[in-house]
A and B are shown apart, each in its own frame.
Chain A
Amino acid sequence: MTAFLTFTIFGIVTGAIYAVAATGLVVTYSTSGIFNIAHGAIGMVMAFLYWELRVNHHWPTPIAIIVVVFIAAPLLGAVIERTLMRRLRGASVAQSLVVTVGLLVLLLGLGEAIWKPTTARELPPFFDPKKFKVFGAFVSWHNAITILVGIAVAVFLWFLLSRTRIGIAMRAVVDDRNLLSLNGARPDRVSMLAWAIGASLAAVAGILLAPLLQLNHIVLTLLVVNAYAAAMVGRLRSLPLTYVGALILGLAQSYYVGYVHLQSTWWIGLGPSIPTILLFAVLLLLPESRLRAARLAGAVAPRVPSRRMSATGAVTLVVVALVVSRFLGSGDIIRVGQGLAFALIMLSLVPLTGYGGQVSLCQMTFAGLGAFAMAKLGVNGSIVGLIVAAALAAGVGALIALPALRLQGLYLALSTMAFAALMDFMFFTNQHVFGNGGTLAVARLKIFGLHFTSERSYFVLLAAAFGGLSMLVMWMRRGQFGRRLAAMRDSQVACATLGMSLARTKLMVFMFSAAMAGLAGALYGGLKGSAGPIDFQMFQSLPILLLAVLGGITTASGALIGGLAFSFLGVLQAHFPSIGGLTYLLTGLGAISIGRNPNGLSFAISQRFRQLFPRFSPATTARPEPVFEEEVERVAASAG
């Protein structure tokens, strides 16, 4: 009985932390309409800042708390709102996801640069080691305080949202921004306050969680997945249901630790995967979301290259690869080859994100599945491995996409992130998959009697694969399916009322994209000669998306630029080992600029090219904002 009570209390404690984090998410989402993927990362940075003040500089606890929770965090939240989020009004889901993922990656890079991950740090619990007894179970003061904070946050938010003027304005802002400003409130100020509160709540959650788990960049950043799962119980809107979700999650995890002792080591990652499992269960139960007419601002749809152009591009790439490979040393050939492999993975996002407007945060996971299939079935470079790699990734892709397809694009993206986290815990670090702490050997491809064993030949093979697959992607874009994707990106409402099944179209493009990523992963594994547990982690997928978008998500050349950049950043990091998280820092910085210019680098380059050589190409015009009479229907109706 005492044991049960102990686990229950610990479940409530964890639940309280999740609740604090999740309500922060809900408050920002419901007032600004932007889901803050960087929520956990904000908490992470703030927890480290607290450690810096409290432990490293020996500040008294209350002062450190006041500085972090009531000054630094709200300031950071307000600055984020003012500089980044405000620009995203009317932006597509994909664009705002990229900016918030960019922020996550930037904060992660910043955190690793300031507080190097190689040093171990510890954040002591409050009033450690004091504890008291409740019905025979010991409760530490830290845990008691955590529960109290959870309750205090609930009371504070209830009071704010239902009893204060600004709180009521916060609830109104998401319904109708224009109507709210007509009534004399200032929506911008309301949004800023919401982000400030959100950041403070993230800080509180981070500071409370770090002593219970560990003061670790990744662990704290991943808190957003748990918070998201809890918040989805309340459909990202209801605070009371969010608390319920958080409690369920906390208790489930605690009871799992206490009572579930699976003999097989296969299931070793099940505990940390509970949030993802809860999330998918909730997604399955949610009713289908309503389609809304939405107009996207700013993004330009590029012209589609003709068959001849894409063939010329592909052949050029292979020729360049042949020539370049003669001059590169074996180390460099691997590095540039890696860039090509990353480019292949990024190319898989072109149909999905570039054409279809859907976002995946788990392309590296698919690549890992591909590498795994190649390792197991591509013995001696058999093409069977490659085929299974694509098929396996496509099949798994279908499974994770299905629950989210009925819902808005945001949910699909967040599901992919949760899935990637689950795979990190249950698959890639599973000793039955990659062996005990080891890696799997991945053979290099052998087709038509050609065995691409040498570095040079494999390098050219990668270039040829990129050229061939980009031709395939462009061919698809010019055809019937490609037109459907473009149509879906432009107007989902119109597609539905023309008889298109959106879920089916999304599923198909998601599977296509996953298959490409799986194939790319198999080839990537071949380049490295092995596949290991850390090669395909969730945090690798984020720069993949960001750099693909930065390069130009609608073009193959964009993927190529992005892939080479990713590889180059790795080299750069190796040259400056003193700056931790350099790749993250630079990628994140680049990605948040997407808020200003959603069209990426390759678009900017081609625009520049057109300015220099206007006769080569008719100019693409930016999509003009159509001017219509303001929607006054509701205003008029409610005035009567």
Chain B
Amino acid sequence: MPLLQVDSVGVRFGGLLALQDVNLEADEGSITGLIGPNGAGKTTLFNVITGLQEPTGGRVTFDDAELQKEKPHQRARRGIARTFQRLEVFGSLTARENILVAAEIRSGWSKDKVDARAVTDEILDTVGLERQADQRVDTMPTGLARLVELGRALATAPRLLLLDEASSGLTSTETDFMAGLLRRLSAAGLAVLLVEHDIEFVMSLCTKIHVLDFGRLIAVGKPKEIQKNEAVQAAYLGSEGDAA
């Protein structure tokens, strides 16, 4: 049984089918990719999984529990964490406080004893933000802010991490660092679901890739298979002209 299982999920915005009969799985200890052109429904699927968007149909199962009725914060407490394509950092707080808040929220409900400050120091070290720890996040460049968001998500001690455009706005050094970090995290048992535009980044990291186009899943497979898949090539060439 995979950790996360999405079963024939559909979402309709008025007359527009944003998602149609989408199936997806994510396993512990592996990085799963989710790609597709703009408007394919990737972020919508993330919203469905985290409870920000109510699906019109289908099921989301996490660790054998059905999530349909649960609110976003309840799902987070089960171990689902995410980042956002358009950053949702706490701009008026420092990097340290961003992570600390998340750790404190966890210590507020968790039965485990959480030393929020110790967890925060550990995570600042993991994401490499020790030097910028006391800088306010609204003064940071996008790349660093993404790392703050990632660190904040990690502070909830998640089992599944949803990353929405983890590498966008990052310099190439930062991208390499991010790739290394994700490898380490998944090696430690975390399930990662990655939405990405940087195809190279996805291909090098993921064990399995799902491709969405106009709300439908058009391909699932290993990176090599996806690269050769004609439907995928058509989707990218047809709507964007380049696989950016």
Interface residue B89 (Cβ < 8 Å from any Cβ of A)? yes
Which A residues are CB-close (under 8 A) to B97? 483, 486
Which B residues are CB-close (under 8 A) to A290? 52-54
Q: Which of A435-472 contact B (CB under 8 A)?
A: none
Known: A628-B86, A633-B39. A498 touches B102 (CB 8 A): yes
Let me know if B214 and A637 touch, CB within 8 A: yes
Distance of A409 Cα from B16 Cα, bound (Å): 29
Distance of A480 Cα from B108 Cα, bound (Å): 10
Of the candidates A499, A633, A635, the one having the most CB atoms from chain B within 10 angstroms of its own CB is A499
Q: Which of A486-503 contact B (CB under 8 A)?
A: 486-487, 489-491, 493-502
Known: A483-B101, A498-B156. A640 touches B214 (CB 8 A): yes
How far, in Å, is B83 (CB) from chain A's closest CB? 9
In the complex, the chain B residue whose C-beta lies closest to that of A491 is: B88
Interface residue B93 (Cβ < 8 Å from any Cβ of A)? yes
Which A residues are CB-close (under 8 A) to B93? 483, 486-487, 490
Interface residue A263 (Cβ < 8 Å from any Cβ of B)? no
Q: Which of A92-146 contact B (CB under 8 A)?
A: none
Of the candidates A293, A484, A638, the one having the most CB atoms from chain B within 10 angstroms of its own CB is A293
* Interface-facing stretch out of B21-29, B73-81, B198-206: B73-81
Interface residue B64 (Cβ < 8 Å from any Cβ of A)? no
Which A residues are CB-close (under 8 A) to B139? 621, 624
How far, in Å, is B62 (CB) from chain A's closest CB? 14
Distance of A523 Cα from B76 Cα, bound (Å): 43
Which A residues are CB-close (under 8 A) to B91? 301, 490, 623
Interchain CB contact (< 8 A) of B101 among A484, A502, A623, A633: A484
Q: Which of B40-70 contact A (CB under 8 A)?
A: 40-41, 43, 50-54
Which B residues are CB-close (under 8 A) to A628? 85-87
Let me know if A638 and B16 touch, CB within 8 A: yes
Interface residue B84 (Cβ < 8 Å from any Cβ of A)? yes
Which B residues are CB-close (under 8 A) to A640? 39, 214, 239
In the complex, the chain A residue whose C-beta lies closest to that of B141 is: A626
Let me know if B156 and A499 touch, CB within 8 A: yes
Distance of A635 Cα from B16 Cα, bound (Å): 11
Interface residue A291 (Cβ < 8 Å from any Cβ of B)? yes
Let me know if A490 and B89 touch, CB within 8 A: yes
Let me know if A493 and B84 touch, CB within 8 A: yes
In the complex, the chain A residue whose C-beta lies closest to that of B92 is: A301
Let me know if A499 and B88 touch, CB within 8 A: no
Let me know if B76 and A634 touch, CB within 8 A: no
In the complex, the chain B residue whose C-beta lies closest to that of A292 is: B52
Let me know if A496 and B76 touch, CB within 8 A: yes
How far, in Å, is B110 (CB) from chain A's closest CB? 9
Which A residues are CB-close (under 8 A) to B38? 632-633, 636
How far, in Å, is B17 (CB) from chain A's closest CB? 9
Per-position 1/0 for B123-164, Cβ under 8 A of A: 000000000000010110010010000001101100000000
Known: A636-B37, A636-B39. A499 touches B92 (CB 8 A): no
How far, in Å, is A301 (CB) from chain B's closest CB? 3
Which A residues are CB-close (under 8 A) to B81? 497-498
How far, in Å, is B152 (CB) from chain A's closest CB? 7
Which A residues are CB-close (under 8 A) to B105? 484, 495, 498-500
Interface residue B106 (Cβ < 8 Å from any Cβ of A)? yes
Which B residues are CB-close (under 8 A) to A499? 73, 76-77, 102, 105-106, 109, 156
Interface residue B82 (Cβ < 8 Å from any Cβ of A)? yes
Distance of A499 Cα from B90 Cα, bound (Å): 15
Which B residues are CB-close (under 8 A) to A295? 86
Count of chain B residues with Cβ under 8 Å from any Cβ of A? 54
In the complex, the chain B residue whose C-beta lies closest to that of A492 is: B88
Let me know if B82 and A637 touch, CB within 8 A: no
Let me know if A498 and B152 touch, CB within 8 A: yes
How far, in Å, is B177 (CB) from chain A's closest CB? 21
Known: A499-B76, A633-B39. A626 touches B50 (CB 8 A): no
Let me know if B84 and A293 touch, CB within 8 A: yes
Distance of A636 Cα from B77 Cα, bound (Å): 35
Which A residues are CB-close (under 8 A) to B86? 293, 295, 626, 628, 631
Distance of A631 Cα from B106 Cα, bound (Å): 32
Interface residue B100 (Cβ < 8 Å from any Cβ of A)? yes
How far, in Å, is A240 (CB) from chain B's closest CB? 19
Q: Which of A302-348 contact B (CB under 8 A)?
A: none
Distance of A487 Cα from B73 Cα, bound (Å): 14
How far, in Å, is A33 (CB) from chain B's closest CB? 18
In the complex, the chain A residue whose C-beta lies closest to that of B43 is: A633
Q: Which of A583-640 contact B (CB under 8 A)?
A: 621, 623-624, 626, 628, 631-638, 640
Let me know if B73 and A494 touch, CB within 8 A: no
Interface residue B71 (Cβ < 8 Å from any Cβ of A)? yes
In the complex, the chain A residue whose C-beta lies closest to that of B138 is: A623
Let me know if B104 and A484 touch, CB within 8 A: yes
Known: A483-B93, A493-B88. A626 touches B142 (CB 8 A): yes
How far, in Å, is B28 (CB) from chain A's closest CB? 20
Interface residue B72 (Cβ < 8 Å from any Cβ of A)? yes
How far, in Å, is B149 (CB) from chain A's closest CB? 8
Interchain CB contact (< 8 A) of A502 among B73, B104, B156: B73
How far, in Å, is B26 (CB) from chain A's closest CB? 17
Interface residue B18 (Cβ < 8 Å from any Cβ of A)? yes
In the complex, the chain B residue whose C-beta lies closest to that of A296 is: B91
Distance of A631 Cα from B43 Cα, bound (Å): 11
Distance of A483 Cα from B72 Cα, bound (Å): 20
Known: A484-B101, A636-B38, A636-B239. A497 touches B50 (CB 8 A): yes
Distance of A484 Cα from B109 Cα, bound (Å): 14
How far, in Å, is B181 (CB) from chain A's closest CB? 19
Per-position 1/0 for A261-287, Cβ under 8 A of B: 000000000000000000000000000
In the complex, the chain B residue whose C-beta lies closest to that of A294 is: B88
Which B residues are CB-close (under 8 A) to A498? 73, 76, 81, 101-102, 105, 152-153, 155-156
Let me know if B52 and A497 touch, CB within 8 A: yes
How far, in Å, is A234 (CB) from chain B's closest CB? 18
Which B residues are CB-close (under 8 A) to A480? 104
Which B residues are CB-close (under 8 A) to A301? 91-92
Let me know if A496 and B104 touch, CB within 8 A: no
Let me know if A632 and B88 touch, CB within 8 A: no
Which A residues are CB-close (under 8 A) to B54? 290
* 19 extra A-B contacts, CB within 8 A, seeds A490-B93, A635-B39: A291-B52, A293-B88, A301-B91, A483-B101, A483-B104, A491-B90, A495-B105, A497-B50, A497-B72, A497-B73, A497-B75, A498-B102, A499-B106, A626-B142, A634-B13, A636-B39, A636-B239, A637-B214, A637-B215
Q: Across the A-B interface, give the 7 residue pairs with the lowest CB-CB distance, nearest first.
A: A301-B92, A637-B39, A636-B39, A499-B76, A496-B72, A494-B88, A490-B90
Q: B: which residues have CB within 8 A of A?
A: 13, 16, 18, 37-41, 43, 50-54, 71-73, 75-77, 80-82, 84-93, 97-98, 100-102, 104-106, 109, 136, 138-139, 142, 145, 152-153, 155-156, 214-215, 239
10 contacts between A and B (CB under 8 A): A293-B86, A490-B89, A494-B152, A498-B73, A628-B85, A632-B38, A633-B39, A636-B38, A637-B16, A637-B41
